[in-house]
Chains A and B, each alone.
Chain A
Amino acid sequence: MLETCEKHIELYKELDSYIQNFKGKKGALINVLHKAQELFGWLPPEVQEYVADKLNISPATVYGVVTFYNFFSTKPKGKSQIKICLGTACYVKGADRVMERFLDELGISEGEVTKDGKFSVHGVRCLGACSMAPVVLVGEKDFYGKVTPDMVPSILKKYKGEG
């Protein structure tokens, strides 16, 4: 367990109180995992076991759900996750070239985290912003539309200074 770290104890506490909301309700697992990933950034095995224990289901069931959905990650991700939409609409507008440029600039391959832990690049399915294709999402809310490979360095610059 990660109990040595005080910050983690706090996080587990917060997760606990969230789980309390679902007492006696069916189908809570995915909501709880959403919360857990929001708190921990990813879902390491010990967090999955903790959730399984609290919800009284097997860790295998939890693992099965975690690995089924794209949103849940069993690997740590960069502080700023760069999600490049590879839906058809973005693809025909050159999303593959944008992806290539991000990987080139950062010197990583898809799914990897940069050495400083700041960035990771992920190809994702349609983000539903096709009228602005190609679309890049940094973090959870920073959308960039009509992105060209030449815009990549200036997008990265915005996040390089952080943390």
Chain B
Amino acid sequence: MKPITVLVSVDSNSILLGAKEFLKYLNELIREHNLDTIVEVLETGTIGNYNGVTIAIMPDNVYYSVNTQEDVLKIFEEHILKGRKVLELEIDKEKVLNLTTEELPKEYKIVTRNIGKINPKNIDEYIARDGYFALAKALQMKPEEIIDEIKNSGLRGRGGAGFPTGLKWEFTFKTPADQKYIVCNADEGEPGTYKDRLIMEGDPHSVIEAMVIAGYAVGATKGYIYIRGEYYGSVENLRKAIKDAYEYGFLGSNILNSNFSFDLYIRLGAGAYVCGEETALLESLEGHAGRPRLKPPYPPQSGLFEKPTVINNVETLANIPPIILKGADWFKSMGTESSPGTKVFCFAGNLSNRGIVELPMGVKVKDLLALSGGVAGGNTLKMVQTGGIAGTFISTDKLEVPLDYDSFAKYGVSLGSGVILGVNDKHCVVDIALNVMKFFKHESCGKCTPCREGTKIAVAILEKMSKFEGTENDLEELIEIANVAKNTALCGLGQSFSVPLLSLIENFKNEFLEHIEKKVCSANICKKVEKTKKKAKLAK
């Protein structure tokens, strides 16, 4: 080990802020000064600072937030060469790491345990932090024992639906077949969600290890990671990780002399939100248009190529190795009774700090908002959307609600994929509803009528409302469309567009009525939309 280690965050957000250039520049400086043997530069995942690229100097344990090349030069000249802290660039590491450590004891970092601590491209660093130990342990266990452990842990699918993971595995295990599959759903497309990307970028081996364990438990010998084509960083890190895992014998034939073999492939998605729905994802994996299948049969009975298939979300899988190592009781000691463990939340929208945090299930919306630093720029919070675009919009009187898989049934606040999207008072409810419904209209696969036609009509009505031409009848019709889709649409996508729509109408009915009766938009947005449209036409 070299005397000085410099950690540079190269997650996607940092790359946006120039991390790659800074890294290159830093390496050049080190070479110029012949410090190659003294300074080690390591790339790592997100460290928790989202306002700049984080550069940490070890063993001094000093964290800097960097935005320009001059900043890098300053740190190099002052700190690395002369050993003096650059005070103006230093960030309070308590504050940065606080996002994930202060509020909860360290052991609550399950899914994000390695992110920002290891070089995701180096398998040895993963192994050094107990990586692949769970696999070694699992291979000594009987498949039934593994399934029981996962079942007892109460782990539920983190993709949004919350189905018990152990049950999925058990159903697949119990279905006899000559071939079974494990599929990782990495088609993260829920607007506002980016946790899976950060997990795959920062700790790809945790996903791979979990998939091999799942394969052994249910008797599957092949796995696919279905990932968004746009997630270049994740694809790159996963490819490298899979290659290394093959070399070390964690993938391939006769894994760790257990006689168990498992092959893993990456498949790129092609940009369709509906492919996050598990049966649509399977269709896409088979090379077809991603239209959902009629259920039943469910994937554990008949999934990929009509064979029994386990489909798990990235975050769900990242929970598996720690559960195998530490046991179901340890896992159950966190979170709530119905939803044990932790959840990774993503802050988005008009909030001061945007980033991810991992907290025990049952955390209150209010506390999450506090962690995110509240609304940015001195504005007032108008509403929060929880759970992604298919999640609920809630008004500020519901912030005391604890979030877990029961909070939707109990309080009408969805956990979904863990998005906490703050919206300030500069926004109009009708306009937001229109934006949301345009999204669903665009992403509807067109297979079933309630969704295909429902989203179309909803957009038309909301457009009318935003031009102050809506009637009270229209509002009733919107509610009816949403209810019909909720009860009759074929898949989760079709059923779920009712959630944001109904929650907006329920919580902000007055604002809809204002557009209808008084023909005013108190946020002054709706008029503007009309104006710009005219302008665009003139320009043509």
A residues touching B (Cβ–Cβ < 8 Å)? 26-31, 33-34, 64-65, 68-72, 86-89, 91-93, 100, 103-104, 107, 109, 124-133, 135, 137, 140-141, 143-145
Contacts and interface: CB of A to CB of B under 8 A. Distances in A.
Interface stretch (B108-116, B223-231, B485-493): B223-231
B270 A125 contact: no
B349 interface: yes
Contacts of A93: 349-350
Given A30-B287, A143-B15, A125 B435 contact: no
Contact of A27 (B197, B285, B354): B285
Contacts of B230: 127-128, 137
Given A65-B288, A69-B272, A88-B389, A131 B349 contact: no
Chain B interface bracket (under 10, 10 to 19, 20 to 34, 35 or more): 35 or more
Contacts of A86: 435, 439
Given A88-B192, A92-B421, A93-B350, A29 B287 contact: yes
Contacts of B194: 128-131
8 contacts: A91-B435, A92-B350, A109-B536, A128-B193, A130-B354, A131-B354, A144-B16, A145-B17
A113 B287 CA distance: 29
B443 interface: yes
Contacts, number: 148
Contacts of B287: 26-31, 65
Contacts of B231: 128
Nearest to B435: A91
Given A65-B288, A92-B350, A125-B439, A132 B421 contact: no
B385 A88 contact: yes
B12 A129 contact: yes
Interface in B179-223: 188-194, 197
A95 to B, nearest CB: 10
B294 interface: no
Q: Which 7 A-B pairs have the closest CB atoms?
A: A87-B191, A131-B354, A70-B271, A29-B287, A69-B270, A68-B289, A89-B348
B347 interface: yes
Contact of A68 (B190, B286, B445): B445
Interface in B368-422: 385, 389, 419, 421
Nearest to A32: B287
Contacts of B191: 87-89, 125-126, 130
Interface in B493-535: 532
Contact of A72 (B267, B270, B354): B270
B189 A126 contact: yes
A143 B17 CA distance: 9
B101 interface: no
Given A93-B350, A109-B540, A145-B13, A26 B305 contact: yes
B50 A131 contact: yes
Nearest to B282: A27
A25 to B, nearest CB: 10
B256 interface: no
Contact of B347 (A33, A124, A131): A131
B423 A92 contact: yes
B268 A125 contact: no
Given A33-B270, A129-B12, A145-B16, 16 more contacts: A27-B285, A31-B268, A65-B289, A69-B272, A69-B290, A70-B271, A87-B192, A91-B435, A93-B349, A100-B532, A125-B271, A128-B193, A130-B191, A130-B354, A131-B347, A133-B349
Contacts of B445: 68
A133 B271 contact: no
Contacts of B189: 125-126, 128
Contacts of A88: 191-192, 348-349, 385, 389, 421, 432, 435-436, 439
